[in-house]
């Protein structure tokens, strides 16, 4: 006598259907993950991204136990906040690191409200110690930032999730740049500066609004970044390799002519990143020579360099010769574009122009007269400094 299978009850069917609707999401880097057992339909109803991942054509087949989806592209705590947002649970960030990672997740999963909450937390905790962690990679999400603070921008269209996220990220990016401009010395001295991308380093180094008290601070930051780049690539952080790690535009963004002769010789020149011709050219600029005098100064340095017959004894004569062949073009190329204009705060400069008065014009005229007198005195002092400076130049070259 054959057995007739029992008819499944409604409760058993519901349980089986519930199991088939479950999926396990494993978020985080390998070895450092959190697991969540969630309902497919519940997440799919609240997010198009989850709909495509959990019930779309590429979704894993139902099984018992539920299938596991590994999300290694997202930080585990950031994904935890993403789930809270999708499930309408309260969100309270505990750290800048988690809020910044959550902003990455909100951008990827197109959650503008979550991005707004993360940006608000980051803005409240934005300072010189946290700005680089927030700034890194932020320009990928923001709209193009112009140099004008008053450039009009159109609001995102209704329902444009990507546009809304870009708008709040642009606001945060401008706030980061303002902090960097205000406290560049504290920012550039941090180790986190070495983790920025090449494009981000160039963006910061070329800013005219950095309130630097010494340009050598920027140079040393670039030197550290270039050394770290060499180590990441597995090459020796030599002077030539560090020079190649960044473009000439970045190295020339340092306003060497605003340094004192001692500051330049003991810093950029001693590092070996700049060639002897470049160093001689910049020293001439620092001493206030004319263009003709600059050329004579370069020739004088090279002649003394050869007269002392040190070329054959130098270990790095090959590198010197390579640089010598290229500097002829560099002196006629990027080097003359070196500026000695101080970096300024654009907004302060615009406000001062708006409030200029007749008394201000008179004061400017008096300042011009005083500067003329100072130039005469400076010219006399410069003559006395030339010999001493040349000795330092040669000492650094032969060291």
Residue 85 is predicted with a pLDDT of 94
Rounded Cα gap, residues 362 and 358, in angstroms: 6
Residue 369 is predicted with a pLDDT of 56
pTM over 0.85: no
Question: Which structure tokens are listed for 131?
Answer: 């700005």
Confidence of residue 78 (pLDDT cuts 50, 70, 90): very high
Residue 294 is predicted with a pLDDT of 46
Confidence of residue 21 (pLDDT cuts 50, 70, 90): confident
Spell out the domain ranges in the chain. 11-73, 75-146+160-195, 208-313
- In this predicted model, what pLDDT tens digit does every residue of 241-278 receive, in sequence order? 999 999 999 999 999 999 998 999 999 999 999 999 99
Query: CB-hemisphere CA count at 13 Å for 25?
Result: 20
Q: Which of 314, 322, 301, 183 has its CA nearest to residue 243?
A: 322
pLDDT of 327 above 60: no
Q: What percent of the chain has a predicted confidence (pLDDT) above 90?
A: 49
**Helix, strand, coil share of the chain (percent; to 5):** 65, 5, 30
Residue 367 is predicted with a pLDDT of 55
Question: Which structure tokens are listed for 254?
Answer: 């340092």
> For residues 72 and 29, is the Cβ–Cβ distance under 8 A?
yes
For the segment 65-91, the average pLDDT, to the nearest whole number, is 93
Q: Which of 308, 294, 299 has its CA nearest to residue 257?
A: 294
Residue 59 is predicted with a pLDDT of 85
Q: For the chain, what is the largest distance between any 2 Cα atoms, rounded to a whole number of angstroms?
A: 122
Rounded Cα gap, residues 206 and 187, in angstroms: 15
For residue 110, what is the DSSP state? T
pLDDT of 350 above 70: no
């Amino acid at each position: 006598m054959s057995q007739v299978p029992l008819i499944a009850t409604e409760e058993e069917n519901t349980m089986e259907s519930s199991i088939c609707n479950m999926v396990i999401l494993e978020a985080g880097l390998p070895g450092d993950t959190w697991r969540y057992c969630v309902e497919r339909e519940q997440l799919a109803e609240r997010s198009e991204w989850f709909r495509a991942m959990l019930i779309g054509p590429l979704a894993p087949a139902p099984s018992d136990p539920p299938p596991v989806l590994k999300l290694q592209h997202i930080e585990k705590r950031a994904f935890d906040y993403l789930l809270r947002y999708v499930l309408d649970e309260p969100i309270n960030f505990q750290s800048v690191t988690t809020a910044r990672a959550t902003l990455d997740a909100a951008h990827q999963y197109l959650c503008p409200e979550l991005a707004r909450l993360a940006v608000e937390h980051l803005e409240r905790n934005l300072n010189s110690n946290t700005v680089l962690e927030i700034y890194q990679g932020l320009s990928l999400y923001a709209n193009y930032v112009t140099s004008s603070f008053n450039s009009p921008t159109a609001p995102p269209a209704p329902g444009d999730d990507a546009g809304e996220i870009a708008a709040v990220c642009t606001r945060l990016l401008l706030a980061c740049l303002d902090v960097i401009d205000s406290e560049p010395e504290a920012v550039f001295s941090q180790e986190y500066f070495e983790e920025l991308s090449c494009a981000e380093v160039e963006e910061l180094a070329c800013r005219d609004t950095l309130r630097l008290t010494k340009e050598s601070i920027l140079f040393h930051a670039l030197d550290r970044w270039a050394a770290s780049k060499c180590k990441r690539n597995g090459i020796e952080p030599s002077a030539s390799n560090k020079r190649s790690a960044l473009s000439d535009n970045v190295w020339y963004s340092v306003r060497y002519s605003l340094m004192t002769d001692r500051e330049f010789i003991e810093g950029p020149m001693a590092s070996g990143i700049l060639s002897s011709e470049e160093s001689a050219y910049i020293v001439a600029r620092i001493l206030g020579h004319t263009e003709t005098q600059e050329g004579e100064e370069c020739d004088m340095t090279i002649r003394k360099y050869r007269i002392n017959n040190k070329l054959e004894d130098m270990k790095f004569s090959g590198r010197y010769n390579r640089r010598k062949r290229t500097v002829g073009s560099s002196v006629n190329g990027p080097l003359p574009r070196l500026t000695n204009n101080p970096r300024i705060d654009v907004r302060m400069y615009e406000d001062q122009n708006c409030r200029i008065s007749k008394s201000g014009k008179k004061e400017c005229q008096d300042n011009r007269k005083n500067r003329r007198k100072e130039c005469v005195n400076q010219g006399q002092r410069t003559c006395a400094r030339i010999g001493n400076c040349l000795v330092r130049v040669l000492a650094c070259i032969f060291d």
